[in-house]
């Protein structure tokens, strides 16, 4: 039996009681007795009065409520950077894991409670509307932008709602992105060729120091192999790439370990993205993660307002990691996340014209 994430308190919004996801979460976290609240702000007010580290505490408190806004949004990308035309399905916000570099700690600092939306079935009408508006389009949709897609899956059962809707729809690709091994629900489904399970990867020294609560590299890759054998497509994200003493060996070994287990033909894409953060996050990292090595070394302010490693270091890292990957599968789709057209040209000798396409990953098809 896998350990469930450490949830200490649960708030249920009035009106959310009868949903399947609500019941599944309450059962999974039994014997926690939920507190009924009118909205997420009420839950946050309860959190704020008790904690010195509301962000850390928010990860242990679960708010179950209805998504009253849109579930589906086009990924906003970032100014001056190449965008991959991806759709984000917002099924939950915040995360029970605690990565030092996580942008969500800043993004949701005004209400850092882990929120789960129980009315997930309402997202299907939104996706139907999108696909009807562009009948020839192929849409990549992922749930891993504002949370880890699988950290709570065995407790909430999101995938048991999503997978049956996506199965067999050739114009849709669902991506579930994680740093965990919580794949038990995924393995119950067959006919899942348009569903990609993606793992964010880093070498073990980075996992140990910067990714609290996440599973070890080899465990993630073993889970990837199990999903591959079950018929899922597989994806990987080297994001954020962190340059530490020994990074070359660390990332080369990580690439090697992937291809010891995974057939390159089953991999739909691999992204590379260097560590980046808004300057306002610096203090948060220092205060919440005094042991972190993230801020060691020179980082510069880029055009989109984010700090990154020096361009020459990023080019070197991207070229090397992409080269190691391509040596195992020359036709693998490797792309850069949140980098400029200039960086694309330096690494791949071309930049995609993605703004004119439905999805840059299908540019070359």
Residues contributing to the site for ligand SF4 (CB under 6 A):
95, 97-99, 102, 104, 147-148, 179
Task: Count other C-beta atoms under 10 Å from residue 283's C-beta.
Answer: 9
Task: Count other C-beta atoms under 10 Å from residue 205's C-beta.
Answer: 16
Q: How many Å apart are CA 198 and CA 176, to the nearest integer?
A: 6
- Closest separation in Å from C-beta 167 to ligand SF4: 26
Tokens of 121: 């079935």
Q: How many Å apart are CA 355 and CA 84, to the nearest integer?
A: 8
Q: Which is nearer to ligand SF4, 13 or 210 (CB)?
A: 210
Q: How many Å apart are CA 141 and CA 195, to the nearest integer?
A: 10
Q: Which is nearer to ligand SF4, 97 or 120 (CB)?
A: 97
Give buried/exposed letters for 322-349 (b at 16+ CB in 10 A, else e): bebbeeebeebbbbbbbbbbebbebbee
Q: Which is nearer to ligand SF4, 95 or 281 (CB)?
A: 95
The tokens 């299907």 sit on which residue? 124
In this structure, are residues 38 and 45 in contact, taking their beta carbons and an 8 Å threshold? no
- Closest separation in Å from C-beta 355 to ligand SF4: 27
Q: Which is nearer to ligand SF4, 85 or 200 (CB)?
A: 200
- Closest separation in Å from C-beta 58 to ligand SF4: 11
Q: Which is nearer to ligand SF4, 9 or 177 (CB)?
A: 177
Calculate the CA 354 to chain-centre distance.
21
- Closest separation in Å from C-beta 251 to ligand SF4: 18
Phi, psi of 235 (to 5 degrees): -135, 155
In this structure, are residues 139 and 196 in contact, taking their beta carbons and an 8 Å threshold? no
Q: Which is nearer to ligand SF4, 24 or 147 (CB)?
A: 147
Q: Which is nearer to ligand SF4, 88 or 332 (CB)?
A: 88
- Closest separation in Å from C-beta 301 to ligand SF4: 22
- Closest separation in Å from C-beta 148 to ligand SF4: 4
Q: What is the largest CA-CA distance in the chain?
A: 57
List beta partners, residue 238.
Answer: 272
- Closest separation in Å from C-beta 179 to ligand SF4: 5
In this structure, are residues 22 and 12 in contact, taking their beta carbons and an 8 Å threshold? yes
Q: Which is nearer to ligand SF4, 269 or 324 (CB)?
A: 269
- Closest separation in Å from C-beta 342 to ligand SF4: 27
H or E element: which one contains 23? helix 20-28
């Amino acid at each position: 039996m896998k350990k469930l994430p450490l949830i200490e308190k649960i708030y249920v919004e009035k009106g959310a009681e009868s949903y399947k996801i609500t019941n599944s979460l309450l059962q999974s976290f039994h014997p926690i007795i939920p507190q009924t609240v009118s909205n997420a702000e009420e839950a946050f007010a309860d959190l704020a009065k008790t904690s010195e580290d509301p962000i850390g505490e928010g990860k242990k408190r679960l708010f179950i409520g209805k998504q009253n806004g849109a579930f589906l949004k086009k990924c906003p990308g970032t100014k001056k950077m190449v965008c991959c035309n991806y759709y984000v399905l917002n099924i939950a916000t915040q995360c029970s894991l605690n990565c030092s570099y996580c942008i969500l700690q800043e993004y949701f600092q005004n209400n850092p409670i882990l929120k789960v939306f129980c009315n997930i079935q309402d997202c299907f009408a939104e996706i139907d509307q999108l696909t009807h508006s562009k009948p020839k389009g192929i849409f990549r949709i992922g749930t891993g932008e504002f949370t880890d897609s699988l950290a709570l899956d065995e407790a909430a059962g999101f995938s048991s709602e999503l997978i049956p809707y996506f199965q067999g729809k050739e114009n849709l690709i669902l991506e579930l992105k994680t740093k965990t091994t919580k794949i038990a629900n995924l393995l119950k489904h067959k006919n899942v060729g348009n569903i990609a399970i993606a793992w964010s990867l880093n070498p073990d020294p980075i996992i140990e120091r910067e990714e609290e609560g996440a599973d070890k590299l080899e465990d993630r890759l073993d889970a990837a192999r199990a999903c591959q054998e079950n018929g899922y497509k597989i994806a990987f994200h080297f994001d954020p790439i962190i340059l530490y003493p020994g990074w070359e060996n660390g990332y080369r070994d990580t690439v090697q370990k992937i291809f010891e287990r995974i057939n390159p033909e089953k991999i739909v894409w691999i992204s590379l993205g260097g560590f980046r953060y808004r300057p306002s996050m610096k203090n948060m990292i220092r205060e919440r993660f005094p042991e972190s090595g993230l801020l060691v070394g020179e980082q510069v302010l880029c055009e989109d307002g984010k700090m990154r490693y020096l361009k020459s270091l990023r080019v070197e890292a991207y070229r090397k990691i992409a080269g190691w990957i391509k040596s195992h599968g020359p036709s693998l789709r490797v792309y850069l996340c949140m980098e400029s057209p200039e960086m694309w040209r330096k690494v791949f000798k071309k930049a995609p014209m993605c703004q004119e396409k439905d999805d840059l990953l299908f540019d070359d098809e």
